[in-house]
Amino acid sequence: MLDPVLLRQRPAEIAERLKATRGYALDAAVLESLESERKQIQTRTQELQNLRNTRSKAIGQAKAKGEDVAPLMAEVAGIADELKASESRLETIRDEIEAIASGIPNLPQDSVPPGEDESGNVEQHRWGTPRSFDFKVLDHVELGARNGWLDGDTAAKLSGARFTVLRGPLARLHRALAQFMLDLHTGEHGYLEVNVPVIVNADSMRGTGQLPKFEEDLFSTAVGDSKRYLIPTSEVPLTNIVRDEIVEDAQLPLRMSAHSMCFRAEAGSHGRDTRGMIRQHQFEKVELVSIARPEESDAEHERMTRCAEVVLERLGLPYRRMLLCSGDMGFSASKTFDLEVWLPSQDTYREISSCSNCDAFQARRMQARWRNPATGKPEPVHTLNGSGVAVGRAMIAVMENYQQADGSIVVPEVLRPYMGGVDVLR
């Protein structure tokens, strides 16, 4: 969440910035009113606590002298009743402020371009040249369905729409891509491989910003008497590893990577990309997460994005990097780079990775801190996350960019050791 000091001291300024950058309407007057009442009640609560303690001490002294303590006890009882009501109201106000604060998106960095939607995104650079085909290009569904390798009908019978069954060489290609990405990030890029749960509690979802605002996009289940959630990305469990922790300076930057199943209800995407594997309820991703010192997070953001770019370059897939505008960024992000891979069947670039710096936004929600050696005091860390990259979309890009006229698919050289030396899927 945003810095609570800023929200208390400059709510009108924050509201103006959110309106201009995010199109988010924050009612500063409500916050100011709640904050004013909180100060008054907190002051009165402290006065009552001191008064109760003073009168209680006086009762003890009066008893020791054999004096009548009934008037004092009646006064203390009245103080206790008022104190209880005051404490209850104070807790209610704090909860109301917390509820408002938890729904406020992060403020964009100054380097983020203004804009309302993806049309305001700014291209940073491109890599690779899209291939020219001398035959009719097929999309990944047509390429996979020819041999029964990609089967949406059977998946629909098993689970419903937006699921896919992969078979044979295509299932192996999918697995090879994930293994290649993990080996690259852990072996060359310095990330620690972590295997994480795919079901997490509400505190974890709140920590990274999925709750309470985006609950409709999540799959959930009941475990005993408590509600648990299927992760939309392993960013959630990876980042929450440092929740309620104080990380020592020597551990930073803490870089972690995980390959996991991901689950998204896609509640707001009806009718979008319903064909094939572009937008699924269940998919796999290799995630990158960094926990960094605040002064190093911008450099860490650039480094993380570059690690994802290397994946696409090793696979020989043309891509472009986009700097997202303020209106197209995710809830927790202060700055985001998207990598978009070339898909020949669509004759355009499509997102395959999103790398975001969240500054201290998630850390404040999680109470994730580091011990600053300059002060010796705990301060919020900065958290970053990125796709390194989405496995299914990488497979789609390989299928379409490496297809041949007979419908076979050339295996990129870097993947062949993971495919038992197979160089063409026929």
Asked if residue 265 belongs to a known ligand binding site, the reply is: yes
Check if 102 is active-site: no
How far is Cα of residue 74 from the mean position of the Cα atoms in its chain? 54
Indicate the SS3 state at residue 108. coil
235 is annotated as contributing to ligand binding? yes
**Is residue 413 a known part of a binding site?**
no
* 234 has binding-site annotation: yes
43 is known to lie in a ligand binding site: no
Q: Which residue has the tokens 């104080």?
A: 246
Q: Which two tokens stand for residue 173?
A: 């290609």
354 is catalytic: yes
Q: Is 56 annotated as a binding residue?
A: no
Q: Are 147 and 402 in contact (CB under 8 A)?
A: no
Q: Is 353 within any annotated ligand binding site?
A: yes
Q: Is 321 annotated as a binding residue?
A: no
Q: Do strands 319-323 and 378-380 pair parallel, antiparallel, or not at all (unpaired)?
A: unpaired
> Which listed residue (351, 371, 379, 408) is catalytic?
351
- 25: tokens are 């309407």
Q: Which of 255, 334, 393, 400 is catalytic?
A: 393
Among the listed residues 131, 167, 279, 306, the single catalytic one is 279
**What's the CA gap between 190 and 186, in Å, rounded?**
5
Q: Is 426 a catalytic residue?
A: no
352 appears as a binding residue in the annotation:
yes
314 in catalytic set? no
What φ, ψ does residue 181 adopt, rounded to 5°? -65, -45
Q: Does residue 244 contact residue 367 with C-beta atoms inside 8 Å?
A: yes
Q: What is the rounded distance in angstroms from the CA atom of residue 218 to the CA atom of residue 338?
A: 22
88 has binding-site annotation: no
Of 206, 264, 321, 364, the catalytic one is: 264
Active site residue 264: yes
d(CA 116, CA 327): 4
Cβ atoms of residues 402 and 409 within 8 Å: yes
- Answer whether 360's CB lies under 8 Å from 1's CB: no
Q: How far, in Å, CA of 400 to CA of 136, rounded?
A: 11
Enumerate the active-site residues: 264, 279, 351, 354, 393
**Which residue ranges make up the annotated binding site?**
233-235, 264-266, 287, 351-354, 387
**Which residue ranges make up the annotated binding site for ATP?**
264-266, 351-354
**Which residue ranges make up the annotated binding site for L-serine?**
233-235, 287, 387
